[in-house]
Amino acid sequence: MNLDSRAPNDLNSYWMPFTSNRAFKSDPRMIVAAEGMYYTTADGRKVIDATAGLWCVNAGHTRPRIVEAVQAQVATLDYAPCFNFGHPRAFELANRVADLFPDGLNTVFFTNSGSESVDTALKIALAYHRGRRDGARTRLIGRERGYHGVGFGGISVGGIVKNRMYFGSLLSGVDHLPHTHNPDHNAFTRGCPEWGAHLADDLERIVALHDASTIAAVIVEPMAGSTGVLLPPAGYLQKLREICDRHGILLIFDEVITAFGRLGAATGTEFFGVQPDIATTAKGLTNGVIPMGAVVVDQRIYDSVLEHADAPIELFHGYTYSGHPVAAAAGLATLDTYREEGLFERAAALSPYWENAVHSLKGARHVIDLRNLGLAGAVELEPRPGAPGARATEAMIKAWERGVMIRVTADIIALSPPLIIEKAEIDTVFGVIGDVLREVA
């Protein structure tokens, strides 16, 4: 092997995730630095981050408190094993994360990503039922258009065709609720739509089909972000909670996007006033600085798993990097930053302005729906005939060239800025999107 054989700027070796590698490598969009609301590109341009990275940089980029905490931690305790040993910061962060959720959701299992959080939550649900000698409860219920990461558990309960169809038969014993996105009834709704709570009743149909005694858990995103900001109809989550309670089914909220302020509250659980049995988080937990996820679990599930354990180790699950010291330090400094700067409250206060900005695109070319909640928004475009996704992708590239990073999923532009965004920057983001939509064919 010749270590010098590849030029450092050869783009071939890096197989990029969820990216058209051919398109990117023929026209790369390289980012070399970031601060606050802005990226710096390789050619020295400033680009507004209208997506908080991938929904994770909720406090904005390279925040000094977080940077310093990471630097100090890596120089003090870079790593410590988390099986049979511990370090104080992981315990401290677990308490701080649990404090963001209502009482009951008191225990925290650390992971390294949203995908791992989801798989962890599903496994905890199964282990809980089995421990209680209710081990026939093995079925998992997800939802069409749900995104729960890319592990086999997550894609099995997830509902995105392309994320599933190439990867075999997935987990068995999985069923799906219908999704809640219905532009015929709900186009251009501000906040949660009034129509659609009845879609939760489909869970009763699934229960009748399989019998409740075979169902372990239902997992949904309180607000689905990655598939294009799909909002829960008013009363929908409450109904899911009631049906789960009626049948002894655990309710898991995938809060990987909704936790840490996105909706103008600490969590989706708080925002919607519906309490799950398990909540998955990641992303904003460390402001995207170091990979980390956390699964927040109801105390009675934790107690039950410990009580019914048939071995000294109660749960045969964990990752080398669960509660990693540097990630834990980043998490603590991130939560400090959110609190000191009142960023969740800031998001709530800014959300009416954001809502008006989103809906200012009504009547813009190609736009068939606009949606918003908290500091999340979606601009849904009519797909170009025969080329789904092409129009939005072109819009993304043109917006990048004009200094705004947006995210697209199929023909939906999804927006989720850092919670520090200023009103003038919101105006810039929607001004550029309006200009770009006039340009794309």
Ligand X SMILES: Cc1ncc(COP(=O)(O)O)c(C=O)c1O
- Amino acid found at 417: P
Residue nearest to ligand X (CB): 114
120 contacts ligand X (rule: CB under 6 A): no
- For 139, residues 6+ apart whose C-beta sits below 8 A from its C-beta are 173, 174, 175, 210, 214, 215, 216
CB 90 within 8 A of CB 82: yes
Binding residue for ligand X (CB under 6 A) from 49, 254, 411, 425?
254
| Rounded Cα–Cα distance for residues 392 and 13 (Å) | 27
- 226 part of the interface to ligand X, by CB under 6 A: yes
Token couple for 3: 């270590």
The correct pick among 70, 96, 109, 114 for binding ligand X (CB under 6 A) is: 114
Rule CB under 6 A: say whether 256 interacts with ligand X.
yes
Answer for which of 39, 101, 128, 147 binds ligand X (CB under 6 A) is 147
Instruction: Give the whole-angstrom CA distance, residue 345 versus residue 339.
Output: 9
Using CB under 6 A, which of 119, 221, 270, 355 touches ligand X? 221
Segment near ligand X (CB under 6 A); pick from 164-172, 218-226, 332-340, 400-408? 218-226
Output the CA–CA distances (angstroms, integers) from residue 149 to 120, 161, 186, in the order listed.
12, 13, 27
- Interaction mask 148-187, ligand X, x per CB under 6 A: xx--------------------------------------
Residue 225 binds ligand X (CB under 6 A): yes
Amino acid at 175: D
As a whole number of angstroms, the distance between CA 291 and CA 111 comes to: 9
Nearer to ligand X, 131 or 158 (CB): 158
Q: Which amino acid is at 439?
A: E
Q: Which is nearer to ligand X, 118 or 230 (CB)?
A: 118
Among left, alpha and beta (phi > 0; psi -120 to 50; other), residue 195 is beta
Mutual angle of helices 202-210 and 236-247, in 10-degree steps: 20
Q: Is 10 left (phi over 0), alpha (psi -120 to 50) or beta?
A: beta
Q: How far apart are CA 116 and CA 321, in angstroms?
A: 11
Strands (E), 334-375: 367-373
Q: Min. distance of Cβ 311 from ligand X in angstroms?
A: 29
Indicate the residue among 252 and 436 with the shorter CB distance to ligand X. 252
- In whole angstroms, the minimum distance from the beta carbon of 21 to ligand X comes to 18
CB of 48 to ligand X, least distance (A): 21
In terms of CB distance, is 153 or 196 closer to ligand X?
153
Site string for ligand X, 269-308 (x = CB under 6 A): -------------x--------------------------
In 165-267, where does DSSP find H-type helix? Answer: 183-186, 202-210, 236-247
Identify the helix (H) or strand (E) that includes residue 33. strand 31-35
The residue range among 86-94, 144-152, 300-308, 311-319 that interacts with ligand X, by the rule CB under 6 A, is 144-152
> What is the smallest separation between the CB atom of 194 and ligand X, expressed in angstroms?
24
Q: Considering the complex, what minimum distance in angstroms separates the CB of residue 127 from ligand X?
A: 20
Residue 12 Cβ, how far from ligand X at the closest point, in Å? 24
Which residues form the interface with ligand X (CB under 6 A)?
A: 113-115, 118, 147-149, 221, 225-226, 254, 256-257, 282
